[in-house]
Structure 1
C-alpha cells in the first residue's frame, strides 16, 4: 500500500483543505511526517499516511469504492505539467530539446499525422 502522498493527491479527499497551500498549512500545524519529493525541484513535500486522521486513511485505502472520491477536473496546463513531471530527468531533457528545436507547430503536425494513422 502506498505510504507517501503529495499535497496534490490529498486535495480530493473529504475533510482535507481544498488548496495545496491549505494542505501544507495543515501539515505544518499538525506536524505531519514529511519528506522532500524525489525528482522534483523546489520544496515539494510528500506526507506519510501515519500523519492522517482515520477518515483520511480510510479514503486513501485501496478497499474504498472509487465512486465515493471527489475528483476535480484537471486544467489542460496542469495535466501537461503533471505528465512532464512523471518523466525521468533524461526524458524531460529530450522532450524539452525536441520542443525547442521543432516547436509546437511540428508537435501538432505530429499529433495530427498520428490521428490519421489510427
Structure 2
C-alpha cells in the first residue's frame, strides 16, 4: 500500500522544506496543501496529502519509499522551480552564476557529456 498522507514532523526532515513543524504548517497554509486532522492524535496535528506537495518533495518521498513514478511532463517549469528552490542559497547563487557565464546550451552539453560518461 502506498502512503498518501505525511505529517509535518515527517516533512520537516526533507531538505528544502522548513525544518520545524510550525514552518511546515505555515508553508502548507500559504501554498494551499490538502490537509486533514491526524487520527488518533490529540491536539491540532495535521497531515498533508502527497498530491498537494511540491514536486521535489514528491520525488524525495517516492525515492525514500522505494517506489517509482514518472515525472509528469505537463509541469516541467514547476519541476525546475521546485528543484531550484530546494537548493541552499549558496547553491542557488552558484547555479545562477554558472548559467550567466555559460548559458543554457552549455548546461545541455554538460548534461549530455555526463550521460555519455555514465553509459
Q: Look up the SS of the partner of 2:27 in the other structure.
A: helix
SS at structure 1 position matched to 2:6:
strand
Larger-Rg structure:
1
How many Å apart are 1:16 and its aligned residue? Answer: 0.6
Quick one: distance in 1 between partners of 2:66 and 2:40? 29
1:63 is aligned to: 66
How many aligned residue pairs are there?
A: 64
Unaligned runs of 5+ in 2: 68-119
Equivalent-residue separation in structure 2 for 1:15 and 1:5 (angstroms): 16
Deviation beyond 6 Å, 4+ runs, structure 1: none
Structure 1 segment 26-105 matched on structure 2, within 5 A: 26-61=27-62, 62-63=65-66
Q: Within 2, Cα distance between the matches of 1:15 and 1:51?
A: 16
TM-score normalised to the size of structure 1?
Answer: 0.52
CA-atom RMSD in angstroms = 1.1
CA–CA distance in structure 2, aligned partners of residues 21 and 41 of structure 1: 17
In 2: Cα distance, 1:34 partner to 1:54 partner = 17
Distance (Å, rounded) in 1 between the aligned partners of 2:55 and 2:66: 14
Secondary structure, aligned partner of 1:43: coil
Please give the secondary structure, in 2, of the residue aligned with 1:35.
strand
Which stretches in structure 1 are left out of the alignment for 5+ residues?
65-118
